[in-house]
Structure 1
């Protein structure tokens, strides 16, 4: 299976497709696009105004991965549904935690 993660030296880059106003805060597995790129599907109850949905996504990831919110940043897609997030920490450990989330 294609992974939505790319491992760096001291971080992990995560591709996410975010659905704001999603009715609940949750992850909906991994989806692979027609061009073969994978992303983690996430939904949040927050509205897509003034960064509220992005903050909710960071909070959801922080809680799920058990890392501080300050270790997660949106590096691209600030106003788009398709986002790339940088998560600081041990990339192998983070990938294991993300794989568990994606398959749950």
Structure 2
């Protein structure tokens, strides 16, 4: 079992940058823990025509309690390593939500099935 790695969040003037590692083709949409500073996001959608990116935004908005329009993909449109800007978010609030999602072993504590 891998040890917990904190997500490398960055506070900017516009919000919080959240690094994500996308894992398409999963059996369910869920947060899969963290690895190497990125939040692991498993999604059922194939990475074609932006469908996977939209599925990630849907899931992140749900689990972080944010509006979809406040999540902006700023890097990695066509890559599994992505970075999202959580517009207007505060670092402390996002860290707290992530701690509630990911336990110290880097495993997701709950699921968001779609």
In structure 2, C-alpha distance between the alignment counterparts of 1:17 and 1:59, rounded to whole Å: 15
Task: Give unmatched runs, 5+ long, in structure 1.
Answer: 33-37
Q: How many aligned positions are there?
A: 99
Task: Give unmatched runs, 5+ long, in structure 2.
Answer: 104-108, 110-114
Shift of 1:22: 1.1
In structure 1, C-alpha distance between the alignment counterparts of 2:60 and 2:100, rounded to whole Å: 13
More strand per residue: 1 or 2? 1
Shift of 1:10: 4.3
- TM-score with structure 1 length normalisation? 0.87
Paired residue for 2:7? 3
In structure 2, C-alpha distance between the alignment counterparts of 1:100 and 1:18, rounded to whole Å: 20
- TM-score with structure 2 length normalisation? 0.80
C-alpha RMSD of matched pairs (Å): 1.4
